[in-house]
Chains A and B, each alone.
Chain A
């Protein structure tokens, strides 16, 4: 058995989600190889080689991968796929875009968003916004999987000493091209890897209030900041803040939900947090059904008080 992990990286370093995928591959058993498809990405490959549990890194370095276009990435995976029993990617925007292409090109089914490895053919995954967990067995010779990062601990970033092998990079497919990116700038920890998250919903009323109330709280806690879909739709914060079934899945040590009602789609993204605090003026809000500590009252009074106490 041999596992191929599709690394998510920015050429210079690995994205943290890659470390969780490596843990899932280790749980499956057998060799763990990592594919880094990038341009001038030897630093990312060197980082992958350090990760505990990895025995080989394949570096596909070429212009086709400069912008991490998913069509090219999928062709690259297929080019090196022979011999692997499992191909794994993170269940991130990147992994979700690449892995199904790989599966279809190999004529294999994909199992999305696995949260547990039962055995080499069998995996558990959430369905219906996490309201049910399905145990799914694949009859395909190659398993293509995406991995929910919060369900697997991060592999140690150091301690490994894998070899890095260069493989020929594919040519550009010409199907798509990069135009521009508008990335949210933040000094804060990444949402999906943060230990503490302060998250705001429609109850905050506006983007100004979201920032005025939650930024000082998040600063004191060195927290990442998240939001409900309603807060993103209303333009309080950018789309990458959205936590939920169709946004980001998070599981920090502490999740503070402010002015969020707790719709099932939101709970799907945060109910595996270790400790949940909810601040909401409605004592019957569903968020209190999952909160370890609920504070009923006006967030405009309570949040500044909490910030002052910290």
Chain B
């Protein structure tokens, strides 16, 4: 069984982004870009399934600018066997990405697609579910444990009240949560090896997918600032503030 893992190139999670003065977006020129942390967890899980003998091949796929190649090389350094870049400079929205991925799935016929639950830039949390619906497959979102045996996957999910375990008929979609695994570091030899792995390049038009955005961002603003910063001397002073100033207790 093949496993397909879509990965997204995003602003690194340590960067605090700034809103542009003209409110057209956030300034991402010259900031560090990395693989979305949830996608890293997805790659790691797929590689582990291959190491266990459940999967035969792990294919990483990314959609976006040419620079996404770096993200794909990184995925291959973690252990993906090959990669596909769907290259476009059109602003891609989740529905368009899901359609592109569906076209790749139709071609590659994986038994499982593992995606991150959300990308930490647009925080949309949509692509996996959309892909699952377009394919007519089952889904397990927010996975913290995955077991595959035969043609079923048993997945424990992080839900609002705790944990829920469901069983999926393969092929299926899984989206990862933080506690599914701890991704390995890419070692230097593996980074070198990744440079030689196959990386194909396709365009949305090759896949017959219309990626025209449906949503227009009218403006991007700073959120309201909190005042903050007042320190109190001791517990008695805190109690006084909470009772008499904030009046919350």
A positions within 8 Å CB-CB of B = 69-71, 74, 92-94, 96-105, 107-113, 122, 126-140, 173-184, 192, 196, 221, 229, 232-233, 238-240, 245-246, 248, 253-254, 264-265, 271, 274-277, 283, 288-296, 302, 305-306, 309-310
Contacts and interface: CB of A to CB of B under 8 A. Distances in A.
B141 A96 contact: yes
B130 A179 contact: no
A112 B123 contact: yes
A122 B235 CA distance: 46
Nearest to B116: A246
Contact of A104 (B129, B163, B169, B248): B129
A122 B218 contact: yes
B162 A111 contact: no
Contact of B123 (A113, A136, A283): A113
B242 A277 contact: yes
Nearest to B129: A100
A283 B120 CA distance: 28
Interface string B124-168: 111111111110111111101000000000100111111111111
Interface residues of B, number: 81
25 contacts: A93-B142, A100-B128, A101-B132, A110-B124, A112-B123, A113-B125, A128-B11, A128-B17, A131-B16, A131-B19, A135-B219, A173-B138, A175-B168, A178-B165, A178-B166, A178-B167, A179-B165, A181-B163, A181-B164, A183-B161, A239-B179, A265-B13, A291-B229, A294-B229, A294-B231
A296 B237 CA distance: 12
B246 to A, nearest CB: 5
B70 interface: no
Interface of B: 11, 13, 16-17, 19, 26, 38, 93-95, 98, 117-118, 120-134, 136-142, 144, 154, 157-169, 172, 177-179, 214-223, 226-232, 234-236, 238-239, 241-242, 246, 248-249
Contact of A94 (B159, B227, B239, B241): B159
Nearest to A220: B249
User: Chain B at the A interface: mostly helix, strand, loop or mixed?
Assistant: mixed
A127 B123 contact: yes
Instruction: Kindly name the residue among A181, A238, A289 whose own CB sees the greatest number of chain B CB atoms within 10 A.
Output: A181
B166 A179 contact: yes
Contact of A239 (B17, B38, B144): B144
Nearest to B165: A179
B98 A104 contact: yes
A135 B218 contact: yes
Contact of A93 (B16, B138, B141, B226): B141
A254 B131 CA distance: 40
Given A135-B220, A176-B138, A179-B167, 17 more contacts: A71-B139, A97-B129, A98-B129, A100-B127, A104-B98, A104-B129, A108-B95, A127-B121, A131-B17, A177-B167, A181-B161, A181-B162, A239-B179, A240-B161, A245-B120, A265-B13, A293-B241
